[in-house]
Amino acid sequence: MNTPRSSDSLDWRLSLVDRHGRQVQVFRAWDKVVSHLRYHLLTLPESLGWSLLMPELLKIGDLANPDRCWEMQRELSSEAGADSPCELGRGLYRLYARGIADALQPAGEAAEASTPENFRLTLGLSGVLVIVERFAMYEVVVTAFIPGMGDAQVVSQANALRRYGQEADRQYDWKRSGRNAGKSKRGPQLKFESQRFAGWSHAERVYHALFRPALQFIRSRVVKQCRNRDGTEDYARLKEPLGPRSNWSYKQWSVRWIAATLDQAGGGEGGAL
């Protein structure tokens, strides 16, 4: 079972072994972890997608509640860069790493592509898109998010604003825009609570709310001649390995999803935490 394990040198850092037998570090620095937790796991509507994949997140906090997400974001920010991350950060990071491991395991992978700059993009059956940077002896996760609910660029944009003394927080903007309009701008959250989803299985929810939008996101991309060095403009490279849309009906996806779930439960190679 490919369980993310703590590094010997840094007790907070988790790593795993991918299907190529290479060690993958789940981020290199704690401040990177904090940024990704804040702007992916703890920002609506993407937080809803992560909680659908890992209900254990709801034991940590109500990720459908923007005020609670904001409180956890602030708590994480106070610990950013600390040598000993707080309990909240460790718990969220471990679950985030598990979601990444699930997408990178052989049974849980939908498609993989590489870029000329030594980045590898992987779309998981879960709808999680992972970008890792490859080095001579190991790899490092650059980002992991749910396309259609989140944006890989949000972390770099927020960090750029912070360098100028500004605070970028999508959670606050989401709440403020809803209140100013006199109604809640809830976006994909409505899908999770609609009658359409009421009688659906967990697998059906993952497919329709997470995986299909991720496919649509990738198919809407084009390969750019001028792109970011971190691989976040190369999503279109996943089109070819994904193949035609007919490859990904719910029936075909669910066969692979069930196999991946059984692989994880049975302790197969590439299992999750």
For 129-187, how does the pLDDT look when each residue is reduced to its tens digit (9 = 90+)?
Answer: 999 999 988 999 999 999 988 766 655 544 443 443 445 444 444 343 333 333 334 44
Give the least confident one: 104-113, 221-230, 251-260: 221-230
SS3 138: strand
Predicted confidence band of residue 10 (pLDDT cuts 50, 70, 90): low
Averaged pLDDT for residues 30-49: 92
For 195-205, how does the pLDDT look when each residue is reduced to its tens digit (9 = 90+)?
Answer: 566 788 999 99
Q: DSSP secondary-structure letter at 119? A: E
Counting beta carbons within 10 angstroms of the beta carbon of residue 81, is it exposed (0 to 12), middle (13 to 18) or buried (19 or more)? exposed
Cis peptide before 106 (omega within 30 of 0): no
Runs of H (alpha helix) within the chain: 30-36, 46-53, 57-60, 66-79, 87-104, 153-163, 170-180, 189-193, 195-198, 202-206, 212-219, 239-242, 250-265
